[in-house]
Amino acid sequence: MDLQDLRLFSAAVRSGSLSQAARETHCSQPTASRRIQGLEAELGAPLLVRGSRTLSPTPVGLEFLHFAETALAAEADLRARIERPWLLRGDLHVAASTTPGEGFVPALLAEFASGQPDLRTQLHIMDSRAVEECVLLGHCDAGFTGHPPAPGLLRSEAVGTDELVLVVGQGHPWYDRAEMPVDMLCRQSFVERGEGSGTRRTVEEALSGVAPAFAARHIVLTVSSAQALLASVRSGVGCGFVSRASLAGSAAEGLHAVKISGVPLHRSIHLILPPQPTAKTLAFAAFVRLRASVRENLGAPPAVR
């Protein structure tokens, strides 16, 4: 048997007509009959029940139909790979910390997958430490964090920039001010992200040398996401640090961003890759680098001031 036999048999069962199957596979009806008879002789069992008007498969014919369609699908897949080697297949799992995950990563994944009809992308949002673990253990193909991973097996590269600001709610003494001195910062009550947060780690590292007292700050509430932090600050629980990109649109209502005097709070957005990335991961990383090269701040949308 060969692929032409499989195509013929599949067409015969689908159409219920050997003459129709012959036309679809570009052969004469006598040739089609000989091919089907040859298959039955080779397999040692009848494959088709020949009625007065239509054909139908025997139980063995149903089994053979499954085999034929599986083989034809595999052959079509092989041809697609040869003719269009850039096409990717399967699932691409990407982990991201809150800021990139709720910011630019969804649009980035949609753009990457738009030309890949057989690729399914999945985004998992978690804190930075969990992103690193997810990629390292192979549960995700790539990740984005606002803090570089600890030296080790993971590969990382900066692909964007981000600015962190202190947000205060209406009624806070610093609501109408542009900057807050470091010594005043240490006297505030804070809403904080969890210890695995890249935002928290960046702020603590930036202030450790200029404001040692910040380590003993008063933390009134710990939350798991930037949106929860903004809602808490808006309700007057305390103030907190977030990415300026998190204050886009309605998220900024009732809030005010304050810079810390003399302390630049800028960070890089990092693409995290596993020690041995797959072809899909390498293709995605190349796409991210391309977008980073043509976009000034991949991690900070232009609409955010």
- pLDDT tens digits, one per residue of 174-226: 999 999 999 999 999 999 998 888 899 999 999 988 999 999 999 999 998 88
Q: What CATH class does 90-159+267-294 carry?
A: alpha beta
Q: How far apart are CA 202 and CA 263, in angstroms?
A: 12
Q: What CATH class does 3-83 carry?
A: mainly alpha
CATH code given to domain 162-266? 3.40.190.290
Q: How many helices (H) and strands (E) does the chain have?
A: 11, 12
Is 162-266 the same fold as 90-159+267-294?
A: yes
Sign of the Cα pseudo-torsion (243, 197, 233, 208, in order): negative
Q: How far apart are CA 244 and CA 179, in angstroms?
A: 14
Residues 123-133: tens digit of each pLDDT: 999 989 999 99
pLDDT at position 139? 94
Phi, psi (rounded to 5 degrees) for 160: -170, 175
Length of the chain as a residue count: 305
Which of 261, 257, 262, 253 is closest to 240 using CA atoms?
257
Phi, psi (rounded to 5 degrees) for 191: -100, 125
pLDDT at position 187? 92
Residues of the chain with pLDDT under 70: 77-87, 293-305
148 CB contacts (<8 Å, ≥6 apart)?
156, 158, 268, 270
pLDDT at position 303? 32
SS3 153: coil
* Amino acid in position 151: P
Which of 112, 117, 132 is closest to 271 using CA atoms?
132
Token code pair at residue 25: 């596979």
Residues 125-159: tens digit of each pLDDT: 998 999 999 999 999 999 999 888 888 888 889 98
249 CB contacts (<8 Å, ≥6 apart)?
none
Q: How far apart are CA 251 and CA 68, in angstroms?
A: 56
Give the CA distances from residue 214 to residues 150, 238, 263, in Å, rounded to whole numbers and listed in that order. Answer: 23, 15, 13
Give the CA distances from residue 232 to residues 28, 170, 175, 293, 296, in Å, rounded to whole numbers and listed in that order. Answer: 76, 12, 15, 36, 31
SS3 301: coil
SS3 242: strand
Where are the chain's structural domains?
Answer: 3-83, 90-159+267-294, 162-266
